[in-house]
Structure 1
Amino acid sequence: MEGVSLRLPSPLVELDDERIARHGLRLFLKRDDLINPEIPGNKWRKLKYNIAVAKAAGVSTLLTFGGAYSNHIRATAAVGHYYGFQTIGVIRGEEHLPLNESLAYASSRGMSLVYLDRTTYRRKTSPEVTTKLLERFGDCYLIPEGGSNSAAARGCVELTGEIDVPFDVLCCACGTGGTLAGISAGLNPGQRALGFAALKGDFLAADVVRLQRDSFGEPLGNWSINTEFHFGGFAKRTAALDTFIQDFGRRHGVTLEWVYVAKMMYGIYALADRGFFPPGSRIVAVVTG
């Protein structure tokens, strides 16, 4: 697909870390964050087939949803810019000027920003809200918040085929469940996917089941979600998480994105210390942003 330069397959690198090695484990990073600086990681994989569907349908405008700091909003704006779509971002909450860095970037890439109060935003998928949006903006291809739908799951399946070393567990951070739904569908027998929820609650499992049923006909039994390492909830952080990020950066020269990726990595190390992974396991962690 023409449009923007993409680094695919994304790099796979093994970490040299005694905290993992002492448990008889090997840990690899799947550096999807390096696919493209404007459309990194699971954002490209989720949007790839969505824009293909929109183009095939002859729809020239993408409409999607997100918070004021949404990486999905940024990525959709970039995809629209590079692949010839108009884009509309429906933002949760009231407008605040000047725009923050995320929304300023989206606007610079041509995205029109509209705002829904938080009460209405919670009903964003209802026919009442979507009908009003389509009446206002005309024929649009709607992409859900976070980009997670059956087209997104199909894009995430492709990640597993890029991994050229044997592995046992494939880990990813979870916000809407689309990445986990897709990568587990690409696994071989005996391999498992482990998601780390970046927000409170246990609703993500039901979302993954729904996505897999819509995408692949039935839910799969080769995945699970750990809900322990959210550090207080979505976009919440603690001193322990910050210390882990700083230490990881010193050891490996990689600055972990803290909303999703750092929580997953912290969880992997904590579970390794508890003996969760059998000795000899090879673990791949997807760095999504």
Structure 2
Amino acid sequence: MDAVPHRLPSPLEELAEPALERVGVRLALKRDDLIHPRIPGNKWRKLRLNVAEAVAAGHDTLLTFGGAYSNHLRATAAAGRLLGLATVGVVRGEELADRPLNPSLARAAADGMRLWFVSRSAYRVKHEPRALEELRERFGRFFVVPEGGSNAAAARGCVALGRELRGRADVVAVACGTGGTLAGLAAGLDPSAQRALGFPVLKGGGFLNGEVERLQREAFGGRRGRWELDGRFHCGGYARSDERLREFAGAFAARHGLAPEPVYVAKMLLGVHTLAAEGAFAPGTRIAAVVTG
């Protein structure tokens, strides 16, 4: 993927946010959404080493998993098209097979991804040996990229995000789906002066504590950096919203001319603003909020 034109390090843009400034907190956006127009943000960082490993092992097909609105499926399809690799997307929800493709899946299909819809029960056991063998019988030889792209390679790929922010923020905020970005980000920050704050976008996201620890253990041999999770801002669950989130995102877009992506980024920004109002950040704190896509 390094051969594909991209923008790294991504820009860090300071914003004037009156509510935060009143409590002495400065906010900047880490614009990972600008790394590449088709493979933005954490998807670029998480896929980079996975794709390199696949190519080094002689694979010409990537197979991965996701829900109907998965940004990861769309990004994997785009990466495959740019690099000349075939892609297969195993989609949760057998009932979706007979419906028109939503914009996310339509984009993945337009980039050449073969979509295979499975029942929710089958999806839950997708990484078991028998399930993978059935997929190989159907699609041939492939390299598996896990759901959301989160594995040890993804965590190592996200270390650069933390390193790019060393000396430039005290707290780094990021939305969390599968935990890979937070695992690598925290490992790249300076543990003596910085901490990472993750905001799960799934209801019941407390399981991510164990997932982030597992990913760090597999990638780095143990827990790395200072990080924590705040699970209060899922706003109803994955890809769901509530009136509070919609009002916040609309006001943010009006102030800055930048509409925060609703599934991940808006929830993270809402969390940052709420914590600031609660007095969670000391005056003078510099916060970098990662715009993952």
What TM-score, normalized by structure 2, do the two folds share? 0.96
CA-CA distance at 1:167 after TM superposition: 1.5
Q: Is the 8 A contact 1:87 1:111 kept in 2?
A: yes
Secondary structure at the aligned position of 1:203 is classed as helix
CA RMSD of aligned residues (A): 1.2
Task: Tell me whether 157-166 or 276-285 shows the greater mean CA deviation.
Answer: 157-166
Residue aligning to 2:242: 238
> Which of 95, 103, 118 is matched with 1:116 structurally?
118
Equivalent positions of 1:100-139 (< 5 A) are: 100-139=102-141
- Deviation, structure 1 residue 128: 1.8
Partner of 2:174: 172
Aligned mate of 2:268, from 252, 264, 267: 264
Q: Name the CA distance, whole Å, in 1 between partners of 2:100 and 2:222.
A: 46
Are residue 24 (structure 1) and residue 24 (structure 2) matched?
yes
- Residue equivalent to 1:89: 89
For 1:244 and 1:282, locate their aligned partners in 2 and report how far apart those are by CA, in whole Å. 21
Deviations 1:169-222 (A, max 9, x none): 111000000000000000112210000010111101100000000000001351
Aligned to 1:190: 193
Check the 8 A contact 1:3/1:82 in 2, yes or no: no
Determine helix, strand or coil for the equivalent of 2:288. Answer: strand
CA distance in 1, matches of 2:152, 2:225: 18
For 1:151, the aligned partner's letter is A
Amino acid at match of 2:151: N
Kindly provide the amino acid, as one letter, of the partner of residue 198 in structure 1.
V
Answer whether contact 2:40 2:292 (CA < 8 A) is retained. Answer: yes
Q: Does the Cα contact within 8 Å between 1:92 and 1:116 map onto a contact in 2?
A: yes
**1:198–1:229 CA contact under 8 A, matched in 2:** yes
Deviation at 1:127, TM superposition (A): 1.5
Whole-angstrom distance in 2 between the partners of 1:56 and 1:8: 23
The amino acid of 1:257's aligned partner reads: E
Query: For the Cα contact (< 8 Å) 2:188–2:225, is it kept in 1?
Result: no
Q: Which amino acid aligns with 1:251?
A: R
Shift of 1:2: 5.0
- Tell me the amino acid that sits aligned with residue 195 of structure 1: G
Cα distance in 2 for partners of 1:64, 1:74 equals 11
CA contact 1:93–1:118 (8 Å) conserved in 2: yes
Secondary structure in structure 2 of the residue aligned to 1:285: strand
2:227 corresponds to: 223
Give the superposition deviation at 1:97. Answer: 3.1
Amino acid at match of 1:216: F
How many residues align? The count is: 289
Q: Secondary structure at the match of 1:159?
A: helix
Q: CA deviation at 1:158?
A: 0.6
List, as ranges, runs of 4+ consecutive aligned residues in structure 1 with deviation greater than 3 Å. Answer: 1-4
Could you tell me how far apart the structure 2 residues matched to 1:153 and 1:244 are? 30
Point out where structure 1 has 5 or more consecutive residues left out of the alignment: none
Secondary structure of 2:196's counterpart equals: strand
Equivalent residue, structure 1, for 2:54: 54
**Equivalent-residue separation in structure 2 for 1:34 and 1:45 (angstroms):** 12
Amino acid at match of 2:291: V
**Distance in 1 of aligned mates of 2:99 and 2:169:** 47
Show the counterpart of 2:149: 147
Shift of 1:55: 0.7
**Could you tell me how far 1:108 is from its partner in structure 2?**
0.9
Q: CA deviation at 1:37?
A: 1.8
Which segments of 5 or more consecutive residues in structure 2 lack a partner in the other structure?
Answer: none
- Give, in whole Å, the separation in 2 of the partners of 1:185 and 1:99: 38
Give, in whole Å, the separation in 2 of the partners of 1:215 and 1:72: 20
Distance 1:280 1:103 in 2: 43
Distance in 1 (alpha carbons) for counterparts of 2:220 and 2:267: 29
Aligned to 1:277: 281
Out of 185, 203, 207, which is 1:203 matched to? Answer: 207
Q: Secondary structure at the match of 1:235?
A: coil
